């Protein structure tokens, strides 16, 4: 049963982590420029995604709680004190296992969930009650200490990229992802006032990323005067209409509470565990009768949703507008929830006005750009995970402000004509080369960039997105998707980590020890890798080819070890499928009982 608990916790952890979108890092720089408002650049405020701020556990005196290594402990998304949790669940779990019935199992699981996530809960005014402290930077990146810069870069590998923007014009706004959403929007507004004062500029750029998009959206609604203070807005995969995953969870449409899903591939489909582990856990679920496992999981999920998530107005801001009314009716109708309901309703209005509020920025002459990603279904936590195009975490409709798209794996019909909802230039072709996306239906058809096959949680490893962002915050020459052949409207998803690792290994090679042939091969592979990195519009398979070629020669000359080829163990899958096919979702005790019963009947009929 411990495994079940661990599974629930790790699933929730994974989902929570995945919400954090991309990150953007800065290269270290120490010089202080202080232009007093007299330079060609605009200060830029990064508003990161979920979990991309340092939020740490503190004690009752407000001092940081440290782990065994003397490090501060992150409170996001949970604070797991394993010994305490085990001592709470051990006895009821053993008892329930032995008796194959719920002798305190559900209650214990609920308590365990609250022990872990309770640190992020809020009171009935939607104010956090847990002992946590968010690390704030009321100063530009250049003034941050080495530790602070390291923390920022751990969320955001900016140090790998260059930007012309002076580092004392870069600011990183941090916040608690479970925090009070209205307070966060006000805080962002005040933060921008501070940035203006410190730099002497009267306008700033903002870069809202993922959940950060909801905070910016709220600020536009509650502080419309902000439009006189912005130069440019660059949304990166913003959750402007929430995420369907939250919409599903808040409406009780949860897949892993569905037996046929849970026992039949759910964990593997998540894409977070390797196939064997997923199947093994699936088989181990049967250590308990299905009803018992399900009631335990249900109780745990109810606790997470009812005692933590629905008290966080920031979580509500991630609920799509289409899902809000039913979810609010379900969870916020009780009079004691009135205050939280009023606060969430306020953001619901901002969500409904998001197009108007962004249009108001455009009317003021502010440049608004957006980066959206597609061709991944949503992670399969919610029932509607594969019903629309998405980037694994957020549906495309939300991040693209309404672009129309075929579902993952499908294309627009042959006779499809682009909608031109927001583009009136008949010469523009806003249909993606793969015929999946119609960008003309999104609010910003000429300034939204689309990345095909890019996963939300790997956004920070797409160098093109980072290069684009760094260019846009420093320069004004790119005004739309037609400005630069390096940044057309439709680009490919990519992940530069392997190539960076291999190129670093190639750097270290002692060329004098190689044969002429090996040397030539290495040089060719390095060149191919560098060319691929330099080519923003490299075809989708170019990275795989360049990686394979470089790795081959590095292995041949002994500069890298050959990667282990993971052997599949289809046996576990076969066992799980056979169990599911033969015994449905029954637990082992039920299976043995039914086998025994069948044998007994067979023997009786013979005798």
Return residues touching Zn ion (CB under 5 A). Answer: 35, 39, 423, 425, 428, 445-446
- Closest to Zn ion by CB, 423 vs 503, is 423
- Closest to Zn ion by CB, 341 vs 419, is 419
Token output for 110: 């609920």
Rounded Cα–Cα distance for residues 271 and 278 (Å)? 9
For the bound state, the minimum distance from the C-beta of residue 237 to Zn ion, rounded and expressed in Å, comes to 21
- Closest to Zn ion by CB, 92 vs 166, is 166
Helix (H) or strand (E) holding 171: strand 170-172
Coil, helix or strand at residue 56: strand
- Closest to Zn ion by CB, 365 vs 426, is 426
For the bound state, the minimum distance from the C-beta of residue 384 to Zn ion, rounded and expressed in Å, comes to 30
For the bound state, the minimum distance from the C-beta of residue 396 to Zn ion, rounded and expressed in Å, comes to 18
Q: Are 211 and 49 in contact (CB under 8 A)?
A: yes
Q: Which of 208, 212, 219 is nearest to 186 (CA)?
A: 219
- Closest to Zn ion by CB, 36 vs 510, is 36
- Closest to Zn ion by CB, 34 vs 583, is 34
CA atoms within 13 Å, Cβ hemisphere of 81: 12
Using the structure block, give the residue that is written with the tokens 């501060």: 72
Rounded Cα–Cα distance for residues 212 and 128 (Å)? 18
- Closest to Zn ion by CB, 368 vs 579, is 368
For the bound state, the minimum distance from the C-beta of residue 38 to Zn ion, rounded and expressed in Å, comes to 7
Q: Are 239 and 177 in contact (CB under 8 A)?
A: no
For the bound state, the minimum distance from the C-beta of residue 217 to Zn ion, rounded and expressed in Å, comes to 23
Q: Are 53 and 134 in contact (CB under 8 A)?
A: yes
Quote the DSSP letter at residue 161: S
- Closest to Zn ion by CB, 169 vs 181, is 169
Strand pairing class (404-405; 437-438):
antiparallel
3-state per-residue secondary structure call for 219-281:
HHHHCHHHHHCEEEEEEECCCCCCCHHHHHHHCCCEHHHCHHHHCCCHHHHHCCCCHHHHHHH
For the bound state, the minimum distance from the C-beta of residue 167 to Zn ion, rounded and expressed in Å, comes to 12
Rounded Cα–Cα distance for residues 165 and 162 (Å)? 9
Q: Phi/psi at 405 (nearest 5 deg)?
A: -150, 150
DSSP annotation string for 83-111? HHHHHHHHHHHHHHHHHTS-SSHHHHHHH
For the bound state, the minimum distance from the C-beta of residue 169 to Zn ion, rounded and expressed in Å, comes to 6
Q: Are 342 and 364 in contact (CB under 8 A)?
A: no
- Closest to Zn ion by CB, 470 vs 502, is 470
For the bound state, the minimum distance from the C-beta of residue 189 to Zn ion, rounded and expressed in Å, comes to 21
- Closest to Zn ion by CB, 238 vs 445, is 445
Using the structure block, give the residue that is written with the tokens 């499809």: 416
Token output for 337: 């929830």
3-state per-residue secondary structure call for 385-406:
CCCCCEECCCEHHHHCCCCEEC
Q: Are 222 and 379 in contact (CB under 8 A)?
A: no
For the bound state, the minimum distance from the C-beta of residue 231 to Zn ion, rounded and expressed in Å, comes to 11
Rounded Cα–Cα distance for residues 225 and 213 (Å)? 18
- Closest to Zn ion by CB, 424 vs 564, is 424
Would you tell me how many other CB atoms lie within 10 Å of the CB of residue 104? Answer: 14
Rounded Cα–Cα distance for residues 257 and 297 (Å)? 7
For the bound state, the minimum distance from the C-beta of residue 460 to Zn ion, rounded and expressed in Å, comes to 27
- Closest to Zn ion by CB, 424 vs 517, is 424
For the bound state, the minimum distance from the C-beta of residue 205 to Zn ion, rounded and expressed in Å, comes to 12
In Å, how far are 13, 86, 283, 296, 411 from 289, measured between CA atoms? 25, 22, 12, 11, 43
For the bound state, the minimum distance from the C-beta of residue 462 to Zn ion, rounded and expressed in Å, comes to 24
């Amino acid at each position: 049963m411990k495994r079940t608990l661990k599974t629930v916790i790790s699933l929730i952890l994974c989902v929570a982590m995945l919400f954090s979108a991309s990150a953007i890092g800065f290269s270290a720089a120490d010089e202080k420029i202080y232009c007093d408002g007299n330079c060609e650049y605009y200060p830029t405020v990064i508003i990161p995604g979920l979990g991309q701020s340092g939020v740490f556990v503190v004690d009752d005196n407000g001092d940081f709680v440290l782990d065994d290594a003397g490090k501060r402990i992150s409170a996001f998304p949970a604070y797991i004190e394993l010994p305490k949790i085990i001592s709470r669940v051990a006895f009821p779990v053993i008892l329930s296992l032995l008796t194959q019935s719920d002798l305190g199992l559900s209650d214990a699981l609920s308590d365990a969930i609250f022990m872990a996530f309770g640190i992020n809960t809020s009171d009935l005014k939607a104010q956090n009650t847990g002992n946590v402290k968010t690390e704030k930077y009321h100063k530009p990146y250049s003034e941050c200490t080495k530790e602070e810069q390291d923390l920022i870069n751990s969320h955001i590998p900016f140090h790998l990229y260059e930007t012309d923007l002076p580092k004392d014009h870069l600011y990183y706004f941090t916040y608690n992802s479970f925090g009070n959403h209205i307070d966060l929007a006000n805080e962002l507004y005040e933060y921008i006032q501070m940035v203006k004062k410190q730099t002497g500029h009267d306008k700033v750029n903002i870069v809202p990323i993922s959940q950060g998009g909801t905070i910016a959206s709220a600020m536009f609604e509650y502080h419309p005067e902000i439009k006189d203070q912005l130069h440019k807005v660059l949304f990166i995969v913003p959750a402007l209409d929430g995420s369907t995953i939250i919409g599903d969870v808040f409406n009780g449409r949860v897949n892993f509470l569905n037996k046929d899903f849970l026992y039949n591939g759910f964990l593997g489909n998540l894409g977070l565990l390797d196939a064997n582990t997923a199947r093994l856990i699936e088989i181990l679920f049967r250590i308990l009768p299905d009803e018992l496992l399900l009631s335990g999981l249900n109780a745990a999920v109810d606790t997470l949703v009812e005692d933590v998530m629905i008290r966080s107005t920031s979580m509500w801001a991630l609920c799509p507008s289409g899902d809000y009314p039913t979810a609010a009716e379900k969870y916020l109708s009780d009079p004691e929830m009135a205050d939280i309901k009023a606060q969430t309703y306020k953001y619901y209005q901002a969500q409904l006005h998001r197009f108007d509020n962004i249009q108001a920025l455009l009317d003021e002459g502010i440049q608004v750009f957006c980066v959206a990603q597609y061709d991944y279904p949503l992670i399969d936590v919610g029932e509607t995970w594969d019903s629309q195009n998405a980037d694994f975490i957020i549906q495309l409709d939300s991040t693209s402000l309404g672009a129309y798209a075929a579902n993952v794996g499908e294309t627009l019909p042959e006779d499809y004509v682009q909608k031109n909802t927001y583009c009136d230039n008949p010469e523009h072709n806003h249909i993606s080369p793969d015929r999946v996306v119609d960008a003309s239906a999104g609010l910003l058809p000429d300034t939204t960039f689309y990345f095909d096959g890019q996963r939300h949680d790997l956004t920070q490893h797409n160098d093109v997105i980072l290069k684009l962002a760094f260019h846009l915050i420093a320069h004004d020459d790119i005004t739309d998707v037609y400005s630069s052949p390096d940044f057309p409207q439709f680009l490919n998803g990519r992940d530069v980590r392997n190539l960076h690792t291999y190129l670093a290994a190639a750097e270290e090679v002692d060329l004098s020890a190689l044969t002429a042939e090996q040397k030539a091969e290495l040089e060719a592979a390095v060149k191919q890798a560098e060319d691929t990195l330099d080519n923003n519009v490299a075809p989708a398979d170019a990275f795989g080819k360049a990686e394979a070629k470089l790795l081959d020669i590095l292995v041949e000359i002994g500069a890298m070890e050959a990667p282990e080829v993971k052997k599949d163990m289809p046996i576990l899958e076969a066992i799980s499928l056979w169990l599911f096919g033969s015994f449905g979702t029954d637990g082992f005790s039920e299976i043995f009982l039914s086998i025994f019963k069948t044998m007994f009947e067979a023997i009786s009929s013979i005798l």
